[in-house]
């Protein structure tokens, strides 16, 4: 019992003060734990985005801790900062859980967005190093006045890759996610028969399943890549010779490859090696040609002692090579501009239209022997 109201008031104030102090300490601990957990997710995001193994999370934490000891050495609360860093969970299992949580969160948000609005899809299949075919499906949709372009799924396709196989895998995924495919209004694919076949292609089977027509487009980057290959048919022999020479230097024997790289270093070449050609990579042709032309002097010196390729001494062949390298560089630049998120069909069409206008400029540039847009030919002519 309290003797008077003043004593009672003091007791109440003391109790409230103690409660606030305990609450403050509790909130501070909770805040520190929450921030440490948030840092774990940030590390996991870096690991996932850079395709690093889960074990690298501990490496990131160790690097962060070692740097912090130097960076914050002059601060009075250095030990508090280091203690907070030590609270970060970066074990492989923790990184795995964080990545799984983020993936599930992204999936839920994406599914919710696709359930609410109409959307378009783009499909392509790819073969991995184990010869397993995967169907990649990307979707474009709007959610809260923002445009999203995201990968929906990467589905393995066993056995054949026919239109019915692609359609079955596609429908099964969207049905499992409770996404109404009747909201699809546009489909973009390549020109493979399994996609655009008149009777058994994916687009035809999808339209039959939905019960109406959908807009269908041939991927503009595929078209650009195909045109780039077809436009150089008369120069195929040049490209074949380049591939033979590159394969002879890089792939024939490890000794030959090492000797050539040493020669490049001695000659202080811009390239320290020759890139190998890959027919399925859009930019590979241009990269190989640029590397080959930049290292042409070293290649001539090296092959004088190893193998004879008479084309390297043929001025007509060299002019074709330099022209092919220059024009392929322009085509690669167009390809890169057509890539990327957030571009509309109108913007892509403007890019293509602008490049088509440049072709007349390129023709006049060659006709007048100016070679402003063909730097390799200009350097050779000088």
Q: Is 101 a domain residue? A: no
How far is the C-alpha of 167 from the C-alpha of 181, rounded, in Å?
12
279 located within any domain: yes
Mean pLDDT of 299-326: 87
Are β-strands 146-157 and 215-218 bridged in parallel, bridged antiparallel, or unpaired?
Answer: unpaired
**pLDDT for the residue numbered 172:** 92
Position 93 pLDDT exceeds 80: yes
Average pLDDT of the residues of the chain: 82
pLDDT of residue 60: 86
Report if residue 109 sits inside a domain: no
pLDDT digit string (tens) for 197-235? 888 889 999 999 988 888 888 776 666 566 656 555 668
261 and 352 inside one domain: yes
pLDDT bin (cut points 50, 70, 90) of residue 25 is very low
Place of tokens 């687009």: 203
| 342 and 235 part of one domain | yes
Tell whether 295 and 349 lie within a shared domain.
Answer: yes
Domain count, the chain: 3
Query: pLDDT > 70: what percent of the chain?
Result: 87
Q: Report the pLDDT value the prediction gives residue 29, as an integer from 0 to 100.
A: 42
Boundaries of domain holding 177: 117-218
pLDDT on residue 232:
57
Judge whether 165 lies within some domain. yes
Range 344-358 average pLDDT: 84
Closest of 156, 188, 185 to residue 169, by C-alpha: 156
pLDDT of residue 239 exceeding 60, the answer is: yes
- The answer, yes or no, to whether residue 23 has pLDDT greater than 50, is no
Q: Is 102 part of any domain? A: no
Residues 269 and 335 in one domain: yes
Helices (H), 267-344: 284-294, 296-306, 315-338
Query: Distance (Å, rounded) from C-alpha 86 to C-alpha 352?
Result: 53
Q: Is residue 255 a part of any domain in this protein?
A: yes
Same domain for 195 and 245? no
Is the pLDDT reported for residue 136 higher than 80? yes
Residue 175 and residue 258 in one domain: no
Q: Is residue 212 located within the same domain as residue 265?
A: no
Q: Residue 11's pLDDT is what?
A: 57
Residue 143 lies in a domain: yes
Q: Judge whether 105 lies within some domain.
A: no
Q: Are residues 290 and 266 in the same domain?
A: yes
Q: Are 156 and 85 found together in one domain?
A: no
How many percent of the chain have pLDDT more than 90? 8
Q: Which of 164, 195, 218 finishes a domain?
A: 218
User: What pLDDT, on a 0 to 100 scale, did the predictor assign at position 170?
Assistant: 92
**120, pLDDT greater than 80:** yes
């Amino acid at each position: 019992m309290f003797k008077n109201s003043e004593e009672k008031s003091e007791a109440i104030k003391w109790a409230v003060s103690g409660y606030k102090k305990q609450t403050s300490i509790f909130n501070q601990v909770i805040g520190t734990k929450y921030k440490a957990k948030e840092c774990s997710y940030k590390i996991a995001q870096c690991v996932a985005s850079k395709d690093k193994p889960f074990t690298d999370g501990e490496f990131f934490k160790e690097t962060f801790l070692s740097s912090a000891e130097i960076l914050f050495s002059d601060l009075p609360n250095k030990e508090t900062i280091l203690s907070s860093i030590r609270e970060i969970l970066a074990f492989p299992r923790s990184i795995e859980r964080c990545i799984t949580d983020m993936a599930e969160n992204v999936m839920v948000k994406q599914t919710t967005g696709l359930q609410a609005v109409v959307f378009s899809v783009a499909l392509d299949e790819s073969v991995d190093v184990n010869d397993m075919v995967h169907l990649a499906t990307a979707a474009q949709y709007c959610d809260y006045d923002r445009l999203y372009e995201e990968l929906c799924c990467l589905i393995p396709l066993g056995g054949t890759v026919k239109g019915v196989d692609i359609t079955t895998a596609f429908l099964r995924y969207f049905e499992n996610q409770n996404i109404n495919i009747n909201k699809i209004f546009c489909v973009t694919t390549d020109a493979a028969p399994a996609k655009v076949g008149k009777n058994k292609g994916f687009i035809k089977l999808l339209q039959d399943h939905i019960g109406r027509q959908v807009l269908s487009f041939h991927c503009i980057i595929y078209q650009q890549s195909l045109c780039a290959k077809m436009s150089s048919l008369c120069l195929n022999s040049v490209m074949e010779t380049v591939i033979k020479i590159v394969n002879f230097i890089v792939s024939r024997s490890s000794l030959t490859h090492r000797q050539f790289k040493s020669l490049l270093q001695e000659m202080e070449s811009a390239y320290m090696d020759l890139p190998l050609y890959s027919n399925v990579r859009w930019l590979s042709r241009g990269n190989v040609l640029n590397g080959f032309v930049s290292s042409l002097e070293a290649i001539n010196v090296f092959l004088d002692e190893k193998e004879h390729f008479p084309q390297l001494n043929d001025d007509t062949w060299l002019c074709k090579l330099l022209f092919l390298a220059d024009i392929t560089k322009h085509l690669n630049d167009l390809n890169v501009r057509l890539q990327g998120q957030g571009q509309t069909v109108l913007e892509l069409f403007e890019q293509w239209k602008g490049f088509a206008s440049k072709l007349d400029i390129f023709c006049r540039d060659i006709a007048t022997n100016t070679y402003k847009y063909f730097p390799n030919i200009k350097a050779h002519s000088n």
